[in-house]
Amino acid sequence: MPNFDTVNRRLLAELQRNARQTNRELARIIGTAESTCLERVRLLHADGIITGHHTEVDLPAIGRPVQAIIGVRLSPKTRAAVDEFRSLALSLPETLAAFHTAGGDDFLVHVAVPGTGALDSLVLDRLAAHRAVAELRTTLVYEHLRRRPVEPLL
């Protein structure tokens, strides 16, 4: 397990807040030398702690204001059915995330669409049409909340 001292915790939090800042700015905010900051960030990448840098997108601004979570139950519950559905879910441009789960649903699929008509079409024409889908349950999302930054647990 990598060293999650105060400096690494602050680096992770700050990079999650703004990954576009320069090493100089980051070092100033964290309170370390630029060389120390750069080396710490390189090690976080090398250790697989930082896996990438992403751009946040305002979904309504790009014409996708309606979000939903779709619970999917498969039948039969075979490796082939799971693999096929996973591929389908990830191939849909509406999909934001997909979770293969235990419990009542085999998958939870988070989607964003232009409106309820598009959601209806996605559910009925593309997801329900998959041969292994036994049941679908759609829940509209009123507000998408995320806790940032993600911190290592002790």
Q: Give residue 152's pLDDT band: very low, low, confident or very high (50, 70, 90).
A: confident
pLDDT for position 47: 92
Query: Would you say the pTM of this structure is higher than 0.85?
Result: no
Write out pLDDT tens, residues 58-117: 999 999 999 999 999 999 999 999 999 999 999 999 999 999 999 999 999 999 999 999
| Arithmetic mean of pLDDT, 30-37 | 95
User: Helix, strand, or coil here: 93?
Assistant: coil
**Which domains are present in the chain?**
6-46 (1.10.10.10), 60-141 (3.30.70.920)
Residue whose C-alpha is closest to residue 24's, from 35, 9, 34: 34
